[in-house]
Structure formats: structure tokens, C-alpha cells
Amino acid sequence: MDDSPPYYLDIDGLEESQPSGDGRGGFRGRPWVGIRFDCCGVYTRVYRNSDGSAYVGACPKCLRKIRLRVGEGGTSSRFFVAD
């Protein structure tokens, strides 16, 4: 088990990648953002928590935790890079 502190990201400090997909701009089901974890070179979806205050998840390989706070105004980007 990884005992290191969670890896917190501020959306303003993330490198945004170009969105991909069908271009409809919406999503179905539970809201998510795509994260590429540079630590292990993998991609995963990170889902919004139940109270809607943050997107929380972990790198699927090393289990490094990530938390992206939902801020006022938000962003239209759905894909980010965590280094």
C-alpha cells in the first residue's frame, strides 16, 4: 500500500491536452475527467465524488492519489496531464 500523501492538483496548474471524442461536449452518467499519469505513462478516468466538490482517483499502476477540486467557473477541458 502506498503511504505517500495524496497528490493534489489545481486545475489551473495542469497542462491541458486537446479534447478528443465525439465533440458533443457532454457526458452521460457520472461526470469524469481524463488524466494521463506521467509517473507511469498511463491514462484513466477520474470521477467526481458524491458531494460534487472534487474529482478523485488514483494512478492505476502505482496508486498515487489525485484530487482535483471543482472550482467556481470551472473549465471546458476534459483531459489533463499529471506529472
Domain ranges of the chain: 7-14+31-82
Total Cβ atoms within 10 A of residue 50? 7
- Count, in order, helices (H) and strands (E) of the chain: 0, 7
Question: What SS3 class is residue 11?
Answer: helix
User: Within the chain, which residues score under 70 in pLDDT?
Assistant: 1-28
pLDDT value, residue 4: 52
Q: Are 48 and 3 spatial neighbours (Cβ–Cβ below 8 Å)?
A: no
CA distances from 80 to 2, 21, 42, 70 (A): 23, 14, 12, 14
pLDDT value, residue 6: 55
Total Cβ atoms within 10 A of residue 40? 13
Task: Look up residue 81 and give its amino acid.
Answer: V
pLDDT value, residue 77: 85
pLDDT value, residue 29: 81
pLDDT value, residue 71: 86
